[in-house]
Structures are given as structure tokens and as C-alpha cells.
């Protein structure tokens, strides 16, 4: 495996941080589920303050909500019961699911986002998010390949929680997928692919992104939808450079993450 890169499925049996206290701040913005949740979507609030974000998530006129909000100091608010369908995901798709609200639990992480001064997530906040994710997964069956960013299900609309969110740290705690390709695997993939390119390399990459879960359909043209999907993938799995260009590192990482996701699937196949 050394020559293929470092594979991570998190740390089996990892000790979760102590669960912080959760306070209730009920939102009226929810409805009924059609099935138990099996998807976990992480967001940032993207507003100037935590107070403004919570007020919006509880405003009936806004018609948006999430199950939880995690503040920068680690405090957690529960807005909607997990058994209910919160309104956090909007239009999007992951692994063929197009009603992501119905399938998911949504966690809003307080951060001003790209519009209002995007900044790193404090350690206390990430510790709380990690504990919350572990707690949620103790109640519901949520595969690692279905712990995703808002930007993963809606690449054309969303950037959150963005490239500063420490997905590697979360995976090391046992939640989510992570893969770091070896240099020789990167080099073997040749020149980067970018807007306007066509051919087998683009076909293979688009098919891989689709199999992983993105709504991008298979095809042979590197169009704008492909660029946005590559950016979303990079924000989650190759955050050092988010440019929408599928260089060797991006494609090698995709191959590794897809390998992990396929191995995790009970049938060994992702649709």
C-alpha cells in the first residue's frame, strides 16, 4: 500500500472527545422525514455573527434551518430534532439522492465564510464538531462516504464549509474518508486536465467523480460544470489549491478516495 499512497478510513475504535452540552433553540422550520437519515452534511453559517445565523435559522419567513449549530467556542445548539427533516441542503445531489434534506442531518458551523472574512476554525469548535458527529453516528447508520460538505452536493451554488475545514482531522478521528497519494502515483497521471480538454482522461475523471457521489454526469468534455465539481472535490480532499484544474494530485486523490468509498460499500459498488 505504501506505493499507492496513505489510505485512511479514520481510526477504528478511536476515542471520541467528551460530548459537550447541547442547548435547545427550537426552529419551526422543519417537516417530516420519509426514511431514517443516512447522510451528514457540514456547512458554515456564512454570516457576520453566530447570533445573526441562529436568528435566520429560526425565522419562519426565512424557511431555512439545520439540526445543529456549533459556535466557535464549541457551544452547540440543537434547532431541529434529528428525527425531523430540517431545511439546510437545498437543491443538490449526492450518490443519486436528490432530496438531500430528507436523507440528511445538517450541522452549521459558525464561520463568516468567504463573503465576510473566511478564517480557520478554532480547535474548540472542531473538537465539538467531532464529538457531535460521533454522537450522531451512534444513533444512525451514516457511512464515511456520506459525510460530506454542502459544496459536495451543490458545487455550482456552494463553497461551504470550505478549504479551511480540517477534513483530515475529522477522518483521523474516525469520521469520513481521506487519502494522500504517493508522489509516484501523482507523476504517473501525466499533464493536468482543464477547461476545454476532451478525451479519455476527462471521461475517466468525470466517471470517477460521479461514482463517488457528485451530480456531474459522465461525459468527455471538461466544461464549466466539470470545473465546479473539481473545485468542490478539491475543497474537501485536496484543499491546498482550489483552482478547478484536475492536476495529477487531484486525480490521484480522487482514485484513492473512490477506492475507499467502494471498499466501504456493502456490495463493493457505488452507483
Active centre residues (catalytic): 108
Handedness of CA 210, 97, 260, 186 (dihedral sign): positive
Nearest to 195 by CA among 237, 159, 235, 246: 246
Instruction: Give the whole-angstrom CA distance, residue 146 versus residue 12.
Output: 17
Comparing CA positions, the residue from 109, 101, 135, 94 lying closest to residue 30 is: 101
Give the whole-angstrom CA distance, residue 17 versus residue 20: 9
Nearest to 236 by CA among 123, 154, 115: 154
| Residue 221 DSSP label | B
Q: First-to-last CA distance in the chain? A: 26
Contacts for 226 with CB less than 8 Å, ≥ 6 apart: 195, 202, 205, 206, 216
Amino acid at each position: 500500500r505504501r506505493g499507492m499512497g496513505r489510505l485512511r478510513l479514520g481510526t477504528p475504535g478511536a476515542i471520541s472527545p467528551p460530548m459537550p452540552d447541547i442547548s435547545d433553540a427550537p426552529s419551526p422550520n422543519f417537516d417530516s422525514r420519509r426514511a431514517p437519515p443516512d447522510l451528514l452534511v457540514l456547512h458554515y453559517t456564512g454570516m457576520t455573527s453566530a447570533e445573526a445565523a441562529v436568528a435566520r435559522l429560526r425565522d419562519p419567513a426565512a424557511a431555512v434551518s439545520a439540526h445543529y449549530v456549533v459556535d466557535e467556542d464549541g457551544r452547540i445548539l440543537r434547532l431541529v430534532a434529528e428525527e425531523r427533516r430540517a431545511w439546510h441542503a437545498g437543491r443538490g445531489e449526492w450518490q443519486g439522492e436528490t432530496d438531500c434534506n430528507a436523507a440528511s442531518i445538517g450541522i452549521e458551523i459558525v464561520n463568516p465564510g468567504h463573503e465576510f472574512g473566511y478564517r480557520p476554525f478554532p480547535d474548540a469548535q472542531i473538537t465539538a464538531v467531532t464529538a457531535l458527529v460521533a454522537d450522531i453516528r451512534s444513533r444512525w447508520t451514516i457511512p464515511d462516504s456520506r459525510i460530506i460538505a454542502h459544496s459536495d452536493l451543490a458545487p455550482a451554488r456552494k463553497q461551504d464549509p470550505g478549504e479551511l475545514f480540517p477534513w483530515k482531522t475529522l477522518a483521523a478521528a474516525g469520521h469520513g474518508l481521506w487519502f494522500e497519494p504517493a508522489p509516484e502515483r501523482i507523476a504517473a497521471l501525466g499533464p493536468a486536465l482543464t477547461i476545454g480538454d476532451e478525451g479519455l482522461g476527462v471521461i475517466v475523471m468525470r466517471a470517477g467523480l460521479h461514482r463517488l457521489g457528485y451530480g456531474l454526469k459522465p461525459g468527455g468534455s471538461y466544461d464549466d460544470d466539470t470545473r465546479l465539481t473539481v473545485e468542490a472535490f478539491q475543497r474537501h480532499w485536496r484543499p491546498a489549491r482550489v483552482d478547478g484544474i484536475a492536476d495529477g494530485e487531484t486525480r490521484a486523490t480522487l482514485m484513492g478516495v473512490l477506492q475507499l468509498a467502494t471498499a466501504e460499500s456493502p456490495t463493493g459498488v457505488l452507483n
